[in-house]
Amino acid sequence: MTLGPHLLSVEPGGKLAGRLRAPGDKSISHRALMLGAIAEGVTEIQGFLEGEDTLATLQAFESMGVRVERLGAGGVRIHGAGLHGLRPAPGPIDLGNSGTSMRLMTGLLAGQSFDTELTGDESLSKRPMMRVIEPLRRMGARIECSVAGTPPVRIFGGPRLRGIDYDMPVASAQVKSGILLAALYARGRTCVREPLASRDHSERMLGRFGWPIQRRDGAVCVRGEARLAGVDVNVPADLSSAAFFIVGATIAHGSDLVLEEVGVNPTRIGMIEILRRMGASIEFVNPREEGGEPVADVCVRASVLRGMRIPGDLVPAAIDEFPVLFIAAACARGETLVKGAEELRYKESDRISSMAEGLQALGIEARPTPDGMRIRGAAIQGGRVESRGDHRVAMAFAIAGLRAEGCIVIADCAMITTSFPNFLTLAREAGLRITAGGGP
């Protein structure tokens, strides 16, 4: 694994200006790679995110016999093995820090003829897996994990999967996607219903590869035992990565920034809607569609934000962006209340606790609750915060430096490379006064 800096230091002030393109969308990169690996024919991906998480997925399929060619920066050619063409890996498959890889591949491998063990790093080994294992077991899969319901995950080959109707207790794109991938190998129809709509990249990508998808009565349904055909995929810039600069340009006085070719899937733009309701000036320019995904250039100008009670129906569509949304709330006038975001406690870190502790260290009144946080906006002080090895927490506190009254030092930042390998370079180019430190 290529490690980034352990320490980041951000000097106060500055503004964000100019034009930049965030890295390729991580969610779409994962899914294009997975479906390309089990499709028939060749899939070429442009704009592929070359982060630690997506490379873990790529290496996993290589270990199962899929031939992958690198075509330069952001280019990947996958020679699909077909739905039943994967081979057993020579040993356990290490997925590093990638929760997306772990949950989606558990579903994809549940219908294979061979046994597989999925492992990960210390952080991933604490992530809950029963929410995806339980419905897969209902489909007939044979899967084991730790007593605590965490990785390593052992998937036993040879079961005959069957389609199910499943009402998800909590909206989760990763769990939904794991079930849909298993459904490709199941007899009959599988339907998944969510209490609130989560991101729909898997459904869009399955349709792109030629697998029929039905949406009816609030459910997503697929029938098993069809076929996938290789396609060309252009991956837009990742909104979750662009989010740091969107918030930065919103809170930093005098900022005027354009983020190019950003994926603006309606199931992903909860963060944009939240910021707009808080008073942010965010505009979509040149909207278009690429590979089944809506794309636009996002123009952001500095704004005065107002605290608000964030509506529960916007939470699933902003779940990955909440660390930096908490920074926006700290810069807003008045109080911001987030509820219904318990999923944040099961990410790379407990993001409710991580962000609350960091905000408190910077002089912000931040009161965590079991499923969210109450934040009162105020002047951000300088200080040292712990990211707990969480890439989104680390980058969120880096953005806080734009409004801080003193230097912010962020510890344990090596995992930024999982989703945003060139964050430091782009941040400096845009105007953030950030430097990288050495060891811990």
- Cite the active site residues: 320
Contacts of 30 (CB under 8 A, 6+ apart): 53, 54, 57, 98, 100, 101, 104
Residue 130's CB is within 10 A of a number of other CB atoms, namely 13
Query: What distance in Å separates the CA atoms of residue 37 and residue 63, rounded to the nearest whole number?
Result: 12
In 89-208, which ranges are E strands?
Answer: 93-94, 116-119, 142-144, 153-156, 165-167, 189-193
As a whole number of Å, the end-to-end CA separation of the chain is 17
The DSSP secondary-structure symbol of 165 reads E
The letter for the amino acid at 289 is E
Query: What distance in Å separates the CA atoms of residue 96 and residue 101, rounded to the nearest whole number?
Result: 9
Helices (H), ranges, 139-200? 173-183
The number of CA neighbours under 13 Å toward the Cβ of 340 is 16
Helices (H), ranges, 256-321? 270-277
* CA dist list (Å): 293 to 179, 245, 290: 22, 21, 5
Helical packing angle, 239-251 and 270-277, nearest 10°: 10
Nearest to 382 by CA among 356, 413, 409: 409
Nearest to 151 by CA among 179, 178, 132, 170: 132
Do residues 29 and 52 make contact, with C-beta atoms less than 8 angstroms apart? no
Tell me the two tokens of residue 201.
Answer: 């990249």
Helix (H, G, I), strand (E, B) or coil at 181: helix
